[in-house]
Amino acid sequence: MTTAYLGLGSNLGRRSRNLSAARRRLRQKGARILRQSRVIETEPWGVVDQPRFLNQAVEVDWLGTPRQLLKAAKEVEAEGGRKGAPRWGPRVIDVDILLFGDQRLKQRDLVIPHPRIGERDFVRESLRELGVNTPIKPAGRW
């Protein structure tokens, strides 16, 4: 088992319910949720002309690879109703891998730690709440 930290976000529909459904779907896919931060309402990041987000971080135990967790996260997003959207655009649910144990990866579609982990106050605040010291030097900036 590897301890991983995921960022969840929603700014369309019933945002709180979307976060709950994402946590349930993650459990169904094998993620054992250990703890979760409180939910924080935030201004949009990147594309500002859209509704406010609800965000939180969850700490999970995962038996598998980062790639398998990414696949599960993308399935959770699709099952939650996420459709193709512009980068940083509005979404029913967003699931980001923030940290995966002490691993560092830099691949085309998977960077761990998350490349913008140090740029988003709500991510750092949520991780601190779960006992993760930040700021973290992102893998994308080696």
Tokens read off for 134: 């930040």
Tokens read off for 15: 């945002």
Q: Sign of dihedral through CA atoms 26, 28, 29, 34?
A: positive
Q: From residue 108, give the alpha-carbon distance in Å to each of 87, 123, 135, 140.
A: 15, 22, 23, 10
In angstroms and rounded to an integer, the radius of gyration of the C-alpha atoms of the chain is 14
- 36: which residues sit within 8 A by CB, 6+ positions away? 23, 56, 57, 58, 59, 130
Beta bridge partners of 95: 8
User: Which residues are designated catalytic?
Assistant: 82, 91, 94, 96
Pair 41, 54: CB distance under 8 Å: yes
